[in-house]
Chains A and B, each alone.
Chain A
Amino acid sequence: MSPEVRDDPLSTDGEDDDVGAQVRAAFAETDDDPEIGARRRARLANRADDAGLLDVAWAVVASPIGRLLLAVTPAGLVRVAFEGEDHDAVLARLAAVLSPRILRSSTRTDPVARQLDEYFTGRRRHFDLPLDLRLARGFRRTVLHHLQDIAYGTTASYSAVAVAAGNPGAVRAVGSACSQNPIPLVVPCHRVVRADGALGQYLGGVEAKATLLALEAGAAARLGE
């Protein structure tokens, strides 16, 4: 019997295979229940959070514009990703840029999910959440700060945002800051439109942008504005 089995670990030790396979089966018994596994992982995430080891907590929530990935650091909401973005790729990038200590956990994302739900049902006009803007630097971060001044139910042009951000010539840079906004919806880049009234680009798709502006216009009208 060849002693070297490393490269073919499952074809094991000849006559011991049968008992080995039974041992494997006996201990695998309860692995198949996804709910128990999910609870075990949730407990791990909570303990990691308590121990200060959970750098990024994430969850995926349903919304009228598709499934949204929410990622939250101890500092605040750091990323909202649309369904059209590859969520696995987004998480891989967060692991590379922020920290690989990433676990799925709704404890930190629940407040975000609740406020988004209130927003989509027209009951919330302003998000009250700590934000972590680490993923945007320099002028892009300045633009994100100014986007938060555009009131619910209104729009501003790219050039108006450039003026507000203190650099009237940087209209294209405002466009790229909006398209790379790490926290769309909550930082309302969807309220920035072209000077000629056209909607302009949106990472979540032009349809989603139109949906959001219509939602806000309708809710604002109902509230007597």
Chain B
Amino acid sequence: MSLRPFDEVVVEHGPVVLRVCRALLGSVDADDAWSETFLSALGAYPDLRADSDLRGWLVTIAHRKAIDQLRRSARTARPSGDVPDRASPARVPVPPDEALRSAVAALPPKQRAAVAYRYLADLSYADIAGLLACSQDAARRSAADGIAALRRTYPTGAAP
């Protein structure tokens, strides 16, 4: 079995990696992190085993790229959270998806990452624990705490 053409990998896994980058960095910086992730993956791809877990591998690279980007942002004193494209005038309701994205952006970093890897990348808690350098129990707890916080802060979450 040999490796598939790389753009099949991009087509299949690109959307998941983009969602993860958006959750970790906000939509402004996500495109850059997405490109960096796939560029880095492309470089290493020929040496990959053909039966590798591509999604887990790509999310791991995205995780590292996001950390790099957050460090760069911190150095240049840019806000790292998700900034909505337009300020919402008072009384105009924020679109629910945007509100939820902002709520995810407002989570503590570890909860935000655990929620992204669990619910956007569908990684196992074992893999998430590896990425976050913690125990499986701690990874599960971070995801659960993140979801609990979203349930509290997400405005339409409690709607009937």
Contacts and interface: CB of A to CB of B under 8 A. Distances in A.
B131 to A, nearest CB: 15
For B6, B22, B23, B35, the residue with the greatest tally of chain A CB atoms inside 10 Å of its CB is: B6
B105 to A, nearest CB: 11
Nearest to A43: B35
B3 A95 contact: yes
Contacts, number: 121
B42 A41 contact: no
A74 B97 CA distance: 44
A222 interface: no
Contacts of B136: 3
B157 A53 contact: no
Contacts of B31: 40
Q: Give chain A's interface residue range (CB within 8 Å of chain B).
A: 35 or more
A16 to B, nearest CB: 4
B122 A9 contact: yes
B19 A19 contact: no
B39 A48 contact: yes
Interface string A7-30: 001101100100111111111110
Q: Give chain B's interface residue range (CB within 8 Å of chain A).
A: 35 or more
A39 to B, nearest CB: 10
A23 B100 contact: yes
Contact of A23 (B43, B120, B125, B126): B120
B14 A100 contact: no
A6 B139 CA distance: 14
A24 B120 contact: yes
A123 interface: no
B126 A6 contact: yes
A26 B101 contact: yes
A27 B40 CA distance: 23
A5 B4 contact: no
Contacts of A96: 2-3
A22 B136 CA distance: 24
A43 B96 CA distance: 30
A53 B36 CA distance: 13
A83 to B, nearest CB: 19
Interface in B38-91: 38-39, 42-43, 45-46
A25 B97 contact: yes
B19 A41 contact: no
A31 interface: yes
Contacts of B34: 40
A12 to B, nearest CB: 7
A16 B122 contact: no
Interface of B: 2-7, 10-11, 14-15, 18-19, 22-23, 31, 34-35, 38-39, 42-43, 45-46, 96-98, 100-101, 104, 115, 118-120, 122-126, 136, 140, 143-144, 147, 150-151, 154, 157
Given A25-B97, A103-B6, 7 more contacts: A20-B119, A41-B14, A44-B39, A92-B2, A101-B42, A101-B46, A102-B5
